[in-house]
Structure 1
Amino acid sequence: MRLVKLIANLGYGSRKEIQTAIKHGWVTDRDGNTLKADAKTAHEDILFDDEPLDPAVGMVVLMNKPLGYTCSTKDQGKLVYDLLPDRFRVRKPALSTIGRLDKETSGALLFTDDGDLLHRVISPKADVPKIYEAELDRPLNGSEATLFASGEMMLENEHKPLKPAELEVLDDTHVRLTLHEGRYHQVRRMFAAAGNHVTALTRTHIGRLGLDGVSEGEWMLLDEDQLAKIFA
């Protein structure tokens, strides 16, 4: 791939803008040598304005999503993409969320431009667990763990029972719930069906990948070891 197309596809600018950047010497290798448009330099050795290029296709981002942000590129109001560099919006292939968190749910949210990886994470066959912590409006009645683990729980307007889920009680109104599927507003609907109401909800882990070191509203690129934790 020609250098101009490579950098443009990463969202750093139009092809014309990248050509101008190359002309002005803003694209170099790690030794500081100015690169020409036909350079054969390896992706990892290219600098744009003295900074390494973003990863090529296969990039995975972990965000600690704050409350009030929508997982969309088109909705009104605050969007999770507003928290990422502008160039991430125009990458080719596009950067997409892997699943979603609703506006009133915070925590671990993944993005990728790798369609195969996206489908691998969300596929029911992968059985990637998602762990949530929830604050409840009222104390537990004691039957929730058995109900959620039964594999027989039905949600309103659905015709297939939920997969067994594990409930850990942290205190009377604070729980940790591990799901093995991702239905619409599942945690909130499960507790509503059990006669309670979720007042705050955070996803803490996707697989074994947690949010250690990622503050609310911040994000990080995942390396191979971190990515492997999703499927561990």
Structure 2
Amino acid sequence: MPALKRLDQTLSNLGYCSRREVRYWLKDKRIKIAEQLATNPAQKVDPASVSVDGESLDHPGDILVMLNKPLGYVCSHDTREGQRIYDLLPKRWQARNPQVVSVGRLDKDTTGLILITDQSALVQQLTSPKHHVDKVYLVTVERPLEPALVEQFAQGVALISETEVCLPATLNIIDSHTAKVTLNEGKYHQVRRMFAACGNHVVSLHREQFGQYTLADLPVGEWRDLR
């Protein structure tokens, strides 16, 4: 049986309104518990039994979704940084507690699969190198790809201005300027910096897979619930 929480706390944590506003919603008869009008903001409830304006609560449990990130969007909550991936999600989610966050980041010029959740333990699990969660990228580069790069990536690329060597990665060359890279680290701008260290420049970068999750036919800018 799920843990019961106060009604006002439940609605506040799910981003519906403040705990103070719940009292006004009760007076306006907007809230029901198990199809019965709610009257007490302190009542302990199972979120799955609560409805507002005749609608069940939006994601009363944990959130885990996959987004096909468009070009030009940032994985930041700061509105000063431009278009954010969170602007592509239901607005209410931005007021949830705990906050929804991306699992790792894709930079502004990288497209593709990004996972979004409100579970901090899951973020740690999916981003820690020790858990060996593979991420697959489709890469287009400026200069022709040399076959010797396959072995160089397999041995671990030493990044420019760093003494640390990346963990071994898999490079599959598709054609002269296109390849797929599979790695399970998450260093800052890692794929771009790996190619830069090998004397090449990444023109475009797209993540196709994160662990067991693949984009499949998910349209750009759209999200899919993984729960």
User: What percent of counterpart residues are identical?
Assistant: 40
Cross-structure match for 2:99: 94
Q: Is the 8 A contact 2:6 2:45 kept in 1?
A: no
Q: Name the TM-score, length of structure 1 as normaliser.
A: 0.87
**With structure 2 as the length reference, what TM-score do the two structures score?**
0.89
1:78 aligns with 2:54: no
One of 26, 36, 49 as aligned partner of 2:39: 36
- Shift of the 212–29 alpha-carbon distance from structure 1 to 2, 3 Å rule, reads farther
Deviations 1:7-51 (A, max 9, x none): 111111112323222332222356x43233355542223222333
Per-residue CA deviations over 1:138-160 (Å, capped at 9, x if unaligned) read: 22122111110113x20011111
CA distance in 1, matches of 2:67, 2:140: 21
The residue number in structure 1 matching 2:116 is 111
Give 1:46's aligned residue.
Answer: 50
**Equivalent-residue separation in structure 2 for 1:51 and 1:136 (angstroms):** 49
SS in 2 for 1:146: helix
Work out the CA distance in 1 between the residues paired with 2:90 and 2:58.
11
User: How many residues are matched?
Assistant: 221
CA distance in 2, matches of 1:23, 1:213: 45
* Backbone CA RMSD of aligned residues: 1.8
1:191 aligns with 2:215: no
- For structure 2, the residue ranges without an aligned partner over 5 or more in a row are none
CA distance in 1, matches of 2:112, 2:39: 43
Q: Segments of 4+ in structure 1 off by > 6 A?
A: none
